[in-house]
Structure 1
Amino acid sequence: MNLLFVCTKNKWRSPTAENIYSNYPNLAARSAGISRSARRLINAADVNWADIIFVMENKHKRYIYEKFRNQIGQKKLIVLDIPDDYQYMDKDLILWLQDAVDVHLPH
């Protein structure tokens, strides 16, 4: 299963999620941002690749639906509601991500 994690600048939240879920068996993970200053800017190939798209905030969901309406189709897009208050690999961020994401993964 392919998981795409999206935040604003692809610096802290989504790369943390990518790092965590890249180590899970049977999962592949990528991360991207929506800002022009993002470390890695989301593109249509990312959306096409993903089975589930996890976004940190509602503004990320709106951006994806506006920019990639032709690619999004029936894909599952989940808003995690994680504020931009954490550094990369922050222990609290990791716990929040695992609590919010794991319930959407096959067991």
Structure 2
Amino acid sequence: MKNILFVCTGNTCRSPAAEAVYRKKAKEASLETDVKSAGMYGMPGMGLSQGSRNALDERNIPHSHQSQTVTEELLDWADLVLTMTQDHKRRLIEQFPHMNKIVYTLKEYAYDTSENREKKRMLDREAAELEMKRVRFINDNQDKVEEYNATGDLVKQQELERELLEEIRPHQEAIDQILQDYPSIDVVDPFGGSDQIYRDTLSEIEEAVDRLVEKLKQGD
């Protein structure tokens, strides 16, 4: 049996919705699994937000929820921790570094295909090249930077900035092109939004959970 813990900010919108969706779809797929959710800053005992309740009810997804905060005990229970955003993931790993091997964003884990891994490698490579050229340009032009700053020569400063942008432009264009086809890793926070925003967020979660369930069925 695999224990899944979904994590968002307050444990009233995204993570409990993911918990409800996963519980339903895992049952339909006959997966031996258990699921819980928690918030980075959850206030214990809060119910599901009205927008999330409405969206789940419209799709006949059962739900029963009281919010809770992430604890080390919950993390010890979990075999897999799936956060709604990269920031949640980063903060969790900062607080509980020994858990880093089981913490992913939901979409990072669900969409971990060979194609997306290759895109990630390409992104990392282009970003590294861009940063290397940026640092080299600044180091090579340090005297000019200091001179133009000292004299307040805005024209020269702007010329230097344009040279830098031209130097890194091929890598920035490559990054922009890759990102056009690269799935967003974060699930949109619907808190305070319209009913349609809650519906859209639930659709986003459902699509990722479908992929997650399929992946777990295959034994990944």
* TM-score range for the pair, normalised by the shorter chain length: 0.7 to 0.9
Contact 2:79 2:102 in 1 (8 A): yes
Amino acid in structure 1 at the alignment position of 2:11: N
**1:35 aligns with one of 26, 41, 45:** 41
- Whether 2:120 is the aligned partner of 1:10: answer no
Amino acid in structure 2 at the alignment position of 1:11: T
What displacement does 1:76 show? 4.6
Q: Higher strand share goes to which structure?
A: 1
Using structure 1 for the length normalisation, give the TM-score. Answer: 0.80
What displacement does 1:91 show? 3.5
SS of the aligned residue for 1:74 comes to helix
Contact 2:6 2:82 in 1 (8 A): yes
Which residue is 1:95 aligned to? 203
2-structure distance, mates of 1:92, 1:16: 12
1:78–1:57 CA distance, 2 compared to 1 (3 A): closer
Partner deviation per Cα, 1:14-60 (whole Å, 9 max, x = no partner): 01111122232322111000015363100112112212211111111
Which residue is 2:216 aligned to? 106
What displacement does 1:13 show? 0.5
What is the percent sequence identity of the aligned residues?
A: 30
Amino acid in structure 1 at the alignment position of 2:35: A
Task: Count residues with an aligned counterpart.
Answer: 105
Q: Higher helix share goes to which structure?
A: 2
- Whether 2:23 is the aligned partner of 1:22: answer yes
Which residue is 2:78 aligned to? 50
SS of the aligned residue for 1:41 comes to coil
Which residue is 2:94 aligned to? 66
Using structure 2 for the length normalisation, give the TM-score. Answer: 0.42
Amino acid in structure 1 at the alignment position of 2:78: A
- Give the superposed CA RMSD: 2.3
Amino acid in structure 1 at the alignment position of 2:104: L
Larger Rg: 2
Contact 2:93 2:103 in 1 (8 A): no
1:79–1:21 CA distance, 2 compared to 1 (3 A): closer
Which residue is 2:119 aligned to? none
Amino acid in structure 1 at the alignment position of 2:21: I
Amino acid in structure 2 at the alignment position of 1:19: A
SS of the aligned residue for 1:2 comes to strand
Amino acid in structure 1 at the alignment position of 2:216: P
Amino acid in structure 2 at the alignment position of 1:44: E
- Whether 2:194 is the aligned partner of 1:84: answer no
Unaligned 5+ segments in structure 1 are none
Give the ranges of 4+ consecutive aligned residues of structure 1 lying more than 4 Å apart after TM superposition: none
